[in-house]
Structure 1
């Protein structure tokens, strides 16, 4: 179980220092900044990266300077607590923003990937169908008839034999020769044909 780092601060004259800051004393603010920077940086590193920790502290100190006239802590304890709480809150904001960005990027990537593969799949299927049809069209007429009836019309060998008025043995030979010719013609595409369900 992770334990948050303990922060022990001594703020003997911080309220007096802040009164000077509230009146626009830049030197007092620089002293205040340097006094707490290292400690608050270490605290923020418990939650975020080094780069983000620096950004958190820069934003916090900028906010304090811009609101020096209206931000008036009444005790050293309240000032210390504000700094700690503010750093923690800003770190959580960074984490939430990063999580949102990751989710948005992931969603964008998945959509782009889906669109890409949808386009690729369709184009590949169309190309394969064209290649297969061209190869079938170039088969000898008797082979093409037997193969087409068997593969695309779901005819049995007996039905094909009766339609073409040849023996079942002849039908088997023509189908086997058709497959042999097609496999040779499409040999460079056989792996991808199998992936897309075109089994020869």
Structure 2
């Protein structure tokens, strides 16, 4: 008896759930060999399975060596995470350098660190899909269509997340500008 498309889809999703239950702890331990934060490892493994569950469950269902495929997916996500951390650190260093260059005379090193920390918090406070999409767009320089295809979402959704991220970061930058202006004015008054 041939299964309907919907029945195949439900069976595929059920198999993904069963694979998750069976392999979650092993995959988390494997991810921990790359990333030393266990919560991040759990998130990575969950993201891999969530992606299968929501988008590509046929890939894992049809894979000949399911374990090998899962371990490869987790390894790749771990490497992407580590690459992202490296890029994020370089990005924050650029921001700190730029802030210190703008107002070296009026703003102390302590204030620059504090302001760059606020900006870093703004970027880090973006919720996960928004942060990931913003990172891929602004840091990695990917096109919206590439991001949409990679994440299995529409281009409009990608655009909405980027707009949301930019608005949140602009709000923080606006507040930083006010703080810089106040620091400059206070510095002149005290002289």
- Taking structure 2 as the reference length, the TM-score comes to 0.46
- Taking structure 1 as the reference length, the TM-score comes to 0.44
Whose helix proportion is higher, 1 or 2? 2
Larger radius of gyration: 1
